[in-house]
Structure 1
C-alpha cells in the first residue's frame, strides 16, 4: 500500500544525479510535501503545467521545426499504406458490415 504524507525520499535523484529544472523542483516539492503522486499526475504536469509543460512552452512540438516528425507529414504514401493494410484486414475478416 502506498503511504501518503511527507517523505525524506529524494524524488529528483535519478541514477545518482539530481534533476534541476523548474518543473522537477515543483514536482519534487509536491512529492516531498504530499507524498507519492500517480503516474497520471506526473505526466499531466510534464505535459500541461502552465509554465513548464511540454505542450505549453510555446514551441512547435510536431513538424519539421518540432521535436518529432510523424510519417503522414513526411509523405502522403503513409496514408495509402495504412489504407492498404486496413483493406487487407477487412477482406481477411470476410468483409464485415461497418460497425462502431
Structure 2
C-alpha cells in the first residue's frame, strides 16, 4: 500500500478488521452473487459491488458505509473501481492472502 511498511500495513488491516460491519462486508464480497441483488452497472464479481448496495445491506446511510469501505480500501483489503458516478468494491484476494500469511507467522 504505497510506501507503508509491512508493519504499518498489518496494523491498518488489523484496525480495519476490528469492526463487525467491516468483517461482514468482506464476508459478503467473498460471494457477491449470493449476498447482493443484481445491479444496473458493473458485474458483481468482475467489477465489484456498488457502495450503495453495500450500504443497503448493512442497513446504514451511504456516508457511513463509505467510511467503512474507505477504511477497508486504505488497509489494502478492498479494491475500488469507478463506473460513472459510483464506486464498486471487490476483495483484494492477494492482499488478504498476505495478511493471512502474516497472521500465521505470528
**Under TM normalisation by the shorter chain, which class is it?**
under 0.3
Structure 1 or 2: more strand by fraction:
2
Q: Which has the larger radius of gyration?
A: 1
Q: Which has the higher contact order (CA 8 A, sep 6+)?
A: 2
